Structure 1
Amino acid sequence: MATVRTYAVVLEPEPDGGFTVRVPALPEIVSYGDDEADALAMAEDAIRLVMEDRASRGEAMPEDAKPRIREVTVTLAA
């Protein structure tokens, strides 16, 4: 029987282009893609590999960590 899980991913734009991708529920995953679609595909592959590895060792699959991303504005004195 197939196991289907959905995980939040965080895409961080890189100064020279592309995205670093992280999966908060699976902190061992840090990947990169040349564009958003590539980054998401890399994340999907990495998540699948981690899930297969954990399953092969009889480890539980973590639940998704729903990150709360907010912006904070800071004013510096001149």
Structure 2
Amino acid sequence: MALGTATAPYELRFDTGRVCLDLLATTHPAERLDSLPVLRAWITGSGLVPPGTALVHADASWPPAFRELRGRLAPLLRGRP
């Protein structure tokens, strides 16, 4: 990250160029996907759904599921089992 462009501690980032890396960025320096509204914002902001998509079918099971997905992606992207 360029000098002077650090994000706020809980600001969502979409600057890696890949959705999988943006998902990994939701855990450092602090957990960001800690609520359904934040996850909905991340899903929309990442471009996984078109802007304005309501995501009304998302429920409380989604944040833990996305955190599990992120946990499974991390070793793959880092090249470690």
TM-score normalized by the length of structure 1: 0.31
Q: Which has the larger radius of gyration?
A: 1
The structure with more strand, counted as a fraction of residues: 1
TM-score normalized by the length of structure 2: 0.30
